[in-house]
Chain A
């Protein structure tokens, strides 16, 4: 373990440090549309306790994990320093065991014999509205359900299970966060987390198709709402807006193997925030996927680069919504298998030589998704430079980005940065040791959270997906010809530029090209060719200025850009620097 990582574990205890971080409460219109039945606003204090206890009783009876993990913790503390929110904040209530004890103490007081008999001697405390509002609502939303604690606990106690149960109890008394309920309500309305309506979704796909065409010359389709298709692909919706390179990479892979695939606007989102909220919503959101796949007759459903989406699918879809009349997999498993079987033939690794890559294992891939080898395999197949982080923080030991579990919201920004500390520290080590400049993070939440974390801790890396790299290295049929043609055109343009007439500044003699002028300057004025531009001046600039231009705001025409810019400044108050926003050359 590196020195910086080791030092990170020296955490000073700061009880109460987490008390300032609290999620905004839901709006009634979001609460109303949740699949799980919750009040539109927090219940009055005197109604809270009985409702919460009833729900807690239900949780422990419906889930073996909850009952067991309430019962068997020995408070050995092995999990304490494994939680990024504890490392970041130092609040003992942010340790996995400390957080779970917030619920266990209530469970003991109300549901166990020893708790009823001995009270605080065995760590029991009766539930109050204050515990719900000031402890549970705060600290169960300072857990990203990353399950790192479970790896190190001698009994595998999974704090995420307690957090999930705690959140369901909170829901039952109307203490639900706005961020999560809003995202879920957008899925119910528009099919995706970002709330992109159907036309915009389709428009973006077309836009990306054009972008691929422009850079590769190949007609790569990004199909939406095809009536029948073999493959249903579910992207994280952010891939259509902010992480477009990931989407482009995926589309290129499908194109390369001639897949019959489509996305759907009814289920246009891989992510499933039900995982952070309630089993009812988890199931309902997954159901949209299952219905869509059935409708279009998909034989294979593929989930895009998104961590918790993969957990929701891998561990819950079949159990809750099965039996499933299709197979499903992750896009990383898909691409890795294609590479392994040699089906993506034309890979040019050197196209990724500008990056030195390290990998952030998304928690839900590594601990809940059986997905740690494929990611590394793909990167090594498409890049020459890859360096893993310290083994104490990779694979099943990976640290959360700090923004998972439904915490990716503005009001928790400070907590998110603190929670990002362990990941940042590990990245910093490989940046310093190997000059890493690309942090591959195959998860939509990572791609939103990690750039902020890296900036916060001043670590100069770019954050991106794995399929971004695949897309760059994968060469499609016809792409090389296009690129060759494009290059030839560029060279011709350059040659043409070289043929622009020039004038010698020393004697005003004119020449057909810079080259000729330079030769003249060397012979006549003893100026070496390298310094020729001291004497010779291309007449290109003059030419360009003389090209007619038009003002985009009032359609007035001008003899040159300069004139147009002057006009724009005077008439439209647009500064000369921004002139190209309005004036367009007619060249």
Chain B
């Protein structure tokens, strides 16, 4: 246990960081560098850079394309709840990273809702999982990787909840671990109390982070490059005026 815990706490985080950062940067760099031979916006239409930006933002923040009339609004709800909760949980975790002595006020303000999100997120997660099993068409298109990532996130969530509500680690201990890692100082495991459930949670999070650059979860970056959304109806030669001649 000691060796393993030491590895998970003192070694793996740097590997995780490296894989995650290099991986994500590489993937994004590839998309960035690929040329677009022609603009291919899909209506409803962006007619300027501004409206293209607005459209991407609406898609990222509100999942507007999923909400479109004629689409599947239950999926929209489940998906949006999942993502917004995920985002809130991430923000909540900043309290371990920010402020050596005191956590910034806005991070503190987010604690309540962050915990609520952690409890809530299991519902959309289970929904997303179930629909892959229940609907014949979605089952048909699903690959093992699709179940894997949902189960992985679910286990991150459950191990986190268990650690928080049952094993009850001390915030100061966790913060000490994170701050030490950030300062590249090895953590002396004999000086802190870290429950097994916390170690499991910490490990699973790192697996998730390392998995991201190789998987479809990269959509979080790709959505900003999608030509049908970022391109707009422009061009010098097109006109809508009959008065050219």
Contact = CB atoms under 8 A, between A and B. Distances in A.
A155 B70 contact: no
B23 to A, nearest CB: 9
Instruction: List the 6 closest A-B pairs by CB distance, nearest first.
Output: A123-B143, A72-B222, A392-B70, A319-B38, A64-B34, A156-B228
Contacts of A279: 37
A73 B63 contact: no
Interface of B: 27, 30-31, 34-45, 47, 59, 63, 65-66, 68-72, 75, 79, 131, 135-138, 140-146, 148, 214-216, 218-219, 222-223, 225-229, 233, 235-245
B38 A151 contact: no
Contacts of B228: 65, 147, 150, 156-158
A435 to B, nearest CB: 25
A337 B241 contact: yes
A68 interface: yes
Contacts of A329: 238-242, 244
A320 B37 contact: yes
Interface string A269-284: 0000000000100000
B40 A114 contact: no
B42 to A, nearest CB: 5
A71 B24 CA distance: 13
Contact of A318 (B216, B223, B229, B236): B236
Given A65-B40, A72-B223, A397 B69 contact: yes
Interface string A119-151: 011110000000000000000000000010011
Contacts of A337: 240-243
B226 A368 contact: no
Contacts of B145: 114, 118, 121-123
A308 interface: no
Interface residues of A, number: 87
B226 A157 contact: yes
Contact of B236 (A150, A323, A341): A323
Interface stretch (A28-36, A94-102, A195-203, A449-457): A94-102
Contacts of B233: 314, 370
Given A114-B215, A299-B245, A75 B141 contact: yes
A312 to B, nearest CB: 10
A53 to B, nearest CB: 18
A113 B148 CA distance: 17
B42 A158 contact: yes
B49 to A, nearest CB: 16
Contacts of B143: 75, 120-123
A153 interface: yes
A158 B40 contact: yes
A453 to B, nearest CB: 20
A391 interface: yes
A260 B245 contact: yes
A68 B141 contact: no
A68 B31 contact: yes
26 contacts: A11-B137, A13-B140, A63-B34, A65-B227, A68-B34, A71-B218, A72-B226, A75-B143, A75-B216, A77-B75, A97-B141, A118-B145, A121-B145, A121-B148, A154-B79, A155-B65, A155-B222, A156-B229, A158-B227, A158-B228, A260-B245, A322-B237, A338-B242, A367-B43, A392-B70, A397-B68
Contacts of A151: 42-43, 65, 68
A395 interface: yes
Contacts of B34: 60-64, 67-68
B141 A77 contact: yes
B141 A315 contact: no
Nearest to A11: B137
B45 A64 contact: no
Nearest to A229: B245
Contacts of B227: 64-65, 68, 156, 158
Nearest to A124: B143
A150 B42 contact: yes
Interface in A374-409: 391-393, 395-397
Given A68-B226, A337-B240, A80 B138 contact: yes
Contacts of B238: 314, 318, 327-329
A314 B143 CA distance: 38
Contacts of A60: 34
Nearest to B72: A78
A241 interface: no
Interface string A421-432: 000000000000
B46 to A, nearest CB: 9
Contacts of B237: 317-318, 322-324, 326-328
A231 interface: yes
